[in-house]
């Protein structure tokens, strides 16, 4: 594309820009993205388990979204939804195991056409090579916490150090030396953390060592009063965290004589020794502390590095004309319902954090409970760039919301669909609808339903689907669910299903011959 064509495209694209801003004034976009970070481990959302002062800055200087709901609570599918602005059944990425079709329309490609430089550094996790980016340095697959390799259009980079720090180093390097300072940019700065198996960085090995993390009220959920899938998954803290998650192999419990021998060999009785003698709920509590502390340490690493990036934006003078967005690919269980991991349409994994800062445009310290979604991100980025949002994108721009003018016809119901079964953690396929007051879930391969009254039962412990008092709600929500499935053009899921029996790690055991 010639410079003249680019300029013309920019002028046309900018016809709707605020205050008639010209090419040079279109905002830069920095999308900060993590993997598996629950809003309940972010102090901007009132966390009772940790502090995230740097991430909180984005909320303090911008808007916090309290109802950002994902369409499919699992890693690669969420990334595909964000890139395309379309539900999983439209972009083809139903599960983690599939390869993203990078030939399709994505918002980075459209931003390139609108004259933006596009860059992605960090976790990609979509198997195919990134498309639509002028610059990319991405982890291979899940990527390790230490000494990662980064795939690039040229040579593979092999780096030594802590991945969260290195992703930031590469990002700052690109901002300082790699980009063209004369045109706006869209940067995706994407962390692996705090994904399993939660390896902290050198600055945080000992964080929380002398503290007990508060337990959630549903840590010992017994899954009664719900459809069958909740009790049959493989993602409990009690039974499905193994030695690689806990980083400690407790010795078998022993009598005093054996203990004396142990002490002679290994020294003073340590945490592993004491853990070996724990049982039942006490053992679950111990595992909860081990797991959550490691998770929160990796969050602390992200928070420090986000601070480095925000400081750079300030010092370089970029901050004023840069929209900073923070989100994660889905929510996560920090022990609620006895779980780790995500996947469910229940609130903890359905809701993902979303913070947006744009100096002069977003009121500092503002919040919204508008029902938004990762489905809306692509349209938002295009709108910020003054580019047209294609009619086949299924989300809507959030710009009116964070600039203080929530449209009166904003959505009041949300469609959700999870597909990855049988697979790790054995969470049954389900779809459903969430309104402000209720949630209905259909486990369609089992013919089972759940209905939760979110006002009277916010922890979703009792399905009222069969309660006669809710008959009208059931009828109403079934109609709404059908309306949404038609609106989003959702086909029946006819792929084969099967039994799923998880092992100690939550991985399905192959069925016996």
* Residue 180, token pair as written in the block: 């063209």
Q: In this chain, which stretch among 22-30, 89-97, 328-336, 454-462 interacts with Ca ion, using CB under 5 A?
A: 328-336
- Helix pair angle (163-173, 280-316), 10° resolution: 10
CB of 169 to Ca ion, least distance (A): 23
Nearer to Ca ion, 23 or 341 (CB): 341
Nearer to Ca ion, 82 or 250 (CB): 82
Task: Give the angle 420-423-427 at the CA atoms, nearest 5°.
Answer: 65
Q: In this chain, which stretch among 124-132, 148-156, 267-275, 321-329 interacts with Ca ion, using CB under 5 A?
A: 321-329
Task: Give the angle 286-339-65 at the CA atoms, nearest 5°.
Answer: 115
Q: How far apart are CA 19 and CA 200, in angstroms?
A: 45
Nearer to Ca ion, 334 or 474 (CB): 334
Instruction: Give the position of tokens 């059908």.
Output: 482
CB of 194 to Ca ion, least distance (A): 9
Site for Ca ion in 393-432 (CB under 5 A): none
Single out the residue of 23, 36, 294, 348 in contact with Ca ion (rule: CB under 5 A): 36
Q: Does 134 bind Ca ion (CB under 5 A)?
A: no
The phi, psi pair for 63, rounded to 5°, reads -115, 140
Nearer to Ca ion, 345 or 464 (CB): 345
Q: Does 329 bind Ca ion (CB under 5 A)?
A: yes
The sign of the torsion formed by the CA atoms of 224, 227, 232, 233 equals: negative
Q: Does 348 bind Ca ion (CB under 5 A)?
A: no
Cross-strand pairs, 65: 354, 368
Instruction: Give the position of tokens 């009792």.
Output: 462
Q: In this chain, which stretch among 74-82, 121-129, 276-284, 416-424 interacts with Ca ion, using CB under 5 A?
A: 74-82
Q: In this chain, which stretch among 36-44, 47-55, 282-290, 373-381 interacts with Ca ion, using CB under 5 A?
A: 36-44
Nearer to Ca ion, 193 or 356 (CB): 193
Nearer to Ca ion, 112 or 373 (CB): 373
Cα distance between the two ends of the chain: 59
Cross-strand pairs, 372: 68
Q: How far apart are CA 108 and CA 122, in angstroms?
A: 16
Nearer to Ca ion, 73 or 380 (CB): 73
Q: In this chain, which stretch among 88-96, 173-181, 324-332, 457-465 interacts with Ca ion, using CB under 5 A?
A: 324-332
Nearer to Ca ion, 36 or 134 (CB): 36
Q: How far apart are CA 38 and CA 52, in angstroms?
A: 12
CB of 349 to Ca ion, least distance (A): 10
CB of 480 to Ca ion, least distance (A): 28
CB of 329 to Ca ion, least distance (A): 4
- Helix pair angle (75-84, 377-384), 10° resolution: 40
User: Measured at CB, which residue is nearest to Ca ion?
Assistant: 75
Q: In this chain, which stretch among 72-80, 127-135, 159-167, 494-502 interacts with Ca ion, using CB under 5 A?
A: 72-80
Q: In this chain, which stretch among 34-42, 110-118, 260-268, 472-480 interacts with Ca ion, using CB under 5 A?
A: 34-42
Q: Does 75 bind Ca ion (CB under 5 A)?
A: yes
Burial 177-197, CB ≥16 within 10 A → b, else e: ebbeeeebbbbbbbbbbbbbb
Nearer to Ca ion, 75 or 473 (CB): 75
Q: How far apart are CA 31 and CA 124, in angstroms?
A: 13
Q: In this chain, which stretch among 35-43, 288-296, 379-387, 438-446 interacts with Ca ion, using CB under 5 A?
A: 35-43
CB of 295 to Ca ion, least distance (A): 13
CB of 304 to Ca ion, least distance (A): 21
The alpha carbon of 160 is separated from its chain's Cα centroid by a whole number of angstroms, namely 26
Instruction: Give the position of tokens 């797991």.
Output: 291
Number of residues that bind Ca ion (CB under 5 A): 4
Nearer to Ca ion, 36 or 460 (CB): 36
Nearer to Ca ion, 56 or 329 (CB): 329
CB of 205 to Ca ion, least distance (A): 24
CB of 78 to Ca ion, least distance (A): 7
Under 8 Å between Cβ of 121 and 143: no
Peptide bond into 194 cis (omega under 30): yes
Single out the residue of 23, 30, 31, 35 in contact with Ca ion (rule: CB under 5 A): 35
Q: Does 341 bind Ca ion (CB under 5 A)?
A: no
Q: In this chain, which stretch among 68-76, 130-138, 218-226, 354-362 interacts with Ca ion, using CB under 5 A?
A: 68-76
Under 8 Å between Cβ of 56 and 314: no
CB of 96 to Ca ion, least distance (A): 9
Nearer to Ca ion, 295 or 402 (CB): 295
CB of 244 to Ca ion, least distance (A): 18
Nearer to Ca ion, 423 or 481 (CB): 423
Q: How far is CA 481 from CA 75, 156, 413, 414, 488, in A?
A: 24, 46, 9, 9, 11
Under 8 Å between Cβ of 190 and 142: no
Q: Which residues contact 261 (CB under 8 A, 6 or more apart)?
A: none
* Residue 121, token pair as written in the block: 């550094």
The alpha carbon of 31 is separated from its chain's Cα centroid by a whole number of angstroms, namely 13
CB of 196 to Ca ion, least distance (A): 9
The sign of the torsion formed by the CA atoms of 459, 463, 465, 471 equals: negative
Dihedral angle at the C-alpha atoms of 251, 255, 261, 265, nearest 10 degrees? 20
Q: Which residues bind Ca ion (CB under 5 A)?
A: 35-36, 75, 329
């Amino acid at each position: 594309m010639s410079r003249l064509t680019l300029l013309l495209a920019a002028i046309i694209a900018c016809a709707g820009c605020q205050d008639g801003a010209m090419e040079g004034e279109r905002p830069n976009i920095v999308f900060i993205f993590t993997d598996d970070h629950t809003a309940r481990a972010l102090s901007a959302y009132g966390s009772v388990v940790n502090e995230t002062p740097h991430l909180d800055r984005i909320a303090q200087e911008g808007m916090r979204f309290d109802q950002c709901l994902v369409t499919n609570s699992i890693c690669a599918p969420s990334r595909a939804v964000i890139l395309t602005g379309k539900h999983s059944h439209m972009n083809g990425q139903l599960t983690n195991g599939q390869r993203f079709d990078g030939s399709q329309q994505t918002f980075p490609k459209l931003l390139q056409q609108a004259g933006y430089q596009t860059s992605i550094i960090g976790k990609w996790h979509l198997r195919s090579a990134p498309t639509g980016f002028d610059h990319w340095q991405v982890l291979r697959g899940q990527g390790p916490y230490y000494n990662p390799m980064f795939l690039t259009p040229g040579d593979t980079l092999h780096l030594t150090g802590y991945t969260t720090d290195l992703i930031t180093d590469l990002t700052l390097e690109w901002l300082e030396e790699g980009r063209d300072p004369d045109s706006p940019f869209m940067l995706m700065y994407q962390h692996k953390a705090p994904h399993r198996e939660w390896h902290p960085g050198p600055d945080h090995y000992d964080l929380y060592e002398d503290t007990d993390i508060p337990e959630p009220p549903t840590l010992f959920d017994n899954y009664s009063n719900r459809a069958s899938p909740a009790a049959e998954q493989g993602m409990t803290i009690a039974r499905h965290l193994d030695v690689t998650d806990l980083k400690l192999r407790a010795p078998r419990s022993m009598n005093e004589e054996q203990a004396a021998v142990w002490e002679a060999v290994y020294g003073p009785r340590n945490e592993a020794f004491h853990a070996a003698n724990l049982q039942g709920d006490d053992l679950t509590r111990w595992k909860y502390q081990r797991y959550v502390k490691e998770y929160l340490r990796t969050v602390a690493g992200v928070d420090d590095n986000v601070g480095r990036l925000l400081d750079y934006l300030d010092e370089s003078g970029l901050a004023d004309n840069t929209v900073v967005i923070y989100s994660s690919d889905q929510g996560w269980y920090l022990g609620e319902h006895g779980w780790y991991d995500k996947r469910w349409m229940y609130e903890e994994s359905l809701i993902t954090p979303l913070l947006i800062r744009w100096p002069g445009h977003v009121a500092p310290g503002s919040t919204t409970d508008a029902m938004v979604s990762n489905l809306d991100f692509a349209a938002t980025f295009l709108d910020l760039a003054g580019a047209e949002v294609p009619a086949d994108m299924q989300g809507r721009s959030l710009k009116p919301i964070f600039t203080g003018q929530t449209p009166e016809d904003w959505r009041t119901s949300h469609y959700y669909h999870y597909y990855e079964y049988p697979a790790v953690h054995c969470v049954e396929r389900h779809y459903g609808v969430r309104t402000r007051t209720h949630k209905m879930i259909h486990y369609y391969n089992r013919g089972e339903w759940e209905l939760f009254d979110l006002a009277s039962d916010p922890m979703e412990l009792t399905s009222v689907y069969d309660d006669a008092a809710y008959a009208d709600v059931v009828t109403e929500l079934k109609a709404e669910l059908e309306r949404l499935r038609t609106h989003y053009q959702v086909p029946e899921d006819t792929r084969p299903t099967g039994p799923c029996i998880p092992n100690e790690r939550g991985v399905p055991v192959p069925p016996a011959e």
